[in-house]
Structure 1
Amino acid sequence: MKINILVCDWFEDILPPFLPTFPTLIYNLFNQVDATIEYELFDVQKGNFPQLNGNEINLITGSRAGVYENLPWVTALLDFIRSAHQAKAKLVGFCFGHQAIAQALGGEVAPSGKGWGTGIRSSQVIHPEALKYFPDGKMYLNYNHNDQVMQLPPEAELLATSDFCPNEAFMVGNHILCFQGHPEYTKQYAQHVLEKAKGKDAELIRKAMESLQLQTAQGATIARWILNLN
């Protein structure tokens, strides 16, 4: 199995000392499920994209950019997503990646009036395919976002929802799988993000920190699901 990681932000200026690169989080996520996976990185902001191969997973990472921004690399990414969908290549999106796939395929993304979504949040699983992996009907993931998918693409099927973010996860066919959350985040990294947050409400940060202690994110379950994509 090979995963092509489409890196949309390296976060080099905010990485903690214990993390050599941001993609390391993704390596660690999948390696706990399958240690034989091969990885290749593609710097999307420099216009680098993988060749489409039906046997490989193309994973689009988070970013501090917005998918609605008129940036050349964002436009190129949306074109790549449309080509991947047409070829029925395996495509996965985390956070910004989730939003980019929605935007590219006819959905709508915008800043949320609900503000910053952070900490561990639970969402209600509503689709039979998702219930295979979350049989109790709840999905817990780490979050770090201000934008949201306001409208799903016409072909999309909603997988999970919450009051804060109605479109938490969706799929298109059997080859596209998207999550607003960050399955790759560890508790240690999530704490680092909260500790480094500037200009954010102190009570919001306190509650987010508390959520990291009270709940366990289910990133490994998401990784298993992704590896089972047809």
Structure 2
Amino acid sequence: MQKPIRIAVLECDTPLDKIKARHGGYGNIFERLLKVAATEMHTPDFVNADDLHVTKFHVQEKMEYPNIEDIDAILITGSRFNSFDNDPWITKLVQFTQDILAQTRVRIIGVCFGHQIVGRALGVKVDRSNAGWETSVLPMTLTPKGKELFKKDIINIHQMHRDIVYAYPPGVEALGHSPRCDVQGMYAQNRLLTVQGHPEFTQEIMEELCETRHAQKIFDDELYADSMRRVADAQDGVVVAQAFLRFLVEG
């Protein structure tokens, strides 16, 4: 892929108030993560922060989308909404994802809800998990392809989901699993790379999410306490973002 790399972040939700006040939208959070990842790779001849041209489109609130000719990749963010619902903005997002999948130049990155949208667009079941929530920092056991892409034998990543992709679509390689989610990541060379976890989340973001969902009675006391015990654990968000960058420039 030629530089600069034009990435359109499709924002599928608005952050909670404190997170929004500190960071703005999720597009800003992902832009910062990707640029930190590029800087920490220490390979300016490969990709650096100045190579990344990030634009943001709030597909949930405004149903705005980029012109495909103006971008090289889309990044579909997480969301509190259900990827299997048929709200107009969700069905439009699925159709747009299918349009991207139907061509061969623009690549797709999906995170959590975005990972599930890619699975839905590829025709596999996406629904509520019978195993319940996965929250806070948890290990993701990697397949050989996952180890190759992430350059580690195992990664730790923030999770915040109770919906899952139930199967791998044809032609898609498995990247890893967790005890409550068999499809933690999907990959197709030059086409797509997705993760169920949240590489963009920090301790402060996860703490606010857990506190809010506990106050709303979405999390019971046990789930809240368990989540908060792991919220400060070391996590590999930058490692995952570096894999995103390598994917964007792979031949």
Q: Same fold (TM over 0.5)?
A: yes
* Aligned-partner SS, 1:33: helix
| Native 8 Å contact 2:7 2:72 kept in 1 | yes
Instruction: Give the equivalent residue in structure 1 for 2:182.
Output: 166
Instruction: Give the equivalent residue in structure 1 for 2:35.
Output: 31
Instruction: Give the equivalent residue in structure 1 for 2:211.
Output: 195
Q: Distance in 2 between matches of 1:22 and 1:134?
A: 23
- Aligned CA RMSD, in angstroms, stands at 1.9
Instruction: Give the equivalent residue in structure 2 for 1:180.
Output: 196
2:228 to 196, 209, 222: 209
Following TM superposition, by how much is the alpha carbon of 1:44 offset from its aligned partner in structure 2, in angstroms? 1.2
Instruction: Give the equivalent residue in structure 2 for 1:20.
Output: 24
* Aligned-partner SS, 2:159: strand
* Aligned-partner SS, 2:210: helix
Q: Distance in 2 between matches of 1:209 and 1:15?
A: 17
Following TM superposition, by how much is the alpha carbon of 1:58 offset from its aligned partner in structure 2, in angstroms? 0.4
Structure 2 residue 64 is the aligned partner of structure 1 residue 52: no
Q: How does 1:19-168 map onto structure 2 within 5 Å?
A: 19-34=23-38, 35-36=49-50, 37-45=52-60, 46-53=62-69, 56-88=72-104, 89-128=106-145, 130-168=146-184
Structure with the higher helix share, 1 or 2: 2
Following TM superposition, by how much is the alpha carbon of 1:30 offset from its aligned partner in structure 2, in angstroms? 0.8
Structure 2, unmatched stretches of 5+, are 39-48
Following TM superposition, by how much is the alpha carbon of 1:83 offset from its aligned partner in structure 2, in angstroms? 1.3
Runs of 4+ in 1 over 6 A off after TM superposition: none
From the superposition, tell whether residues 18 and 80 of structure 1 become closer, same or farther in structure 2 (CA, over 3 Å).
same
Q: Distance in 1 between matches of 2:179 and 2:69?
A: 37
| Native 8 Å contact 1:3 1:57 kept in 2 | yes
Q: TM-score, normalised by structure 2?
A: 0.84
Identity of counterpart residues, as a percentage?
A: 28
Instruction: Give the equivalent residue in structure 2 for 1:225.
Output: 243
Q: Distance in 2 between matches of 1:147 and 1:115?
A: 8
Aligned residues between the structures = 228
Q: TM-score, normalised by structure 1?
A: 0.91
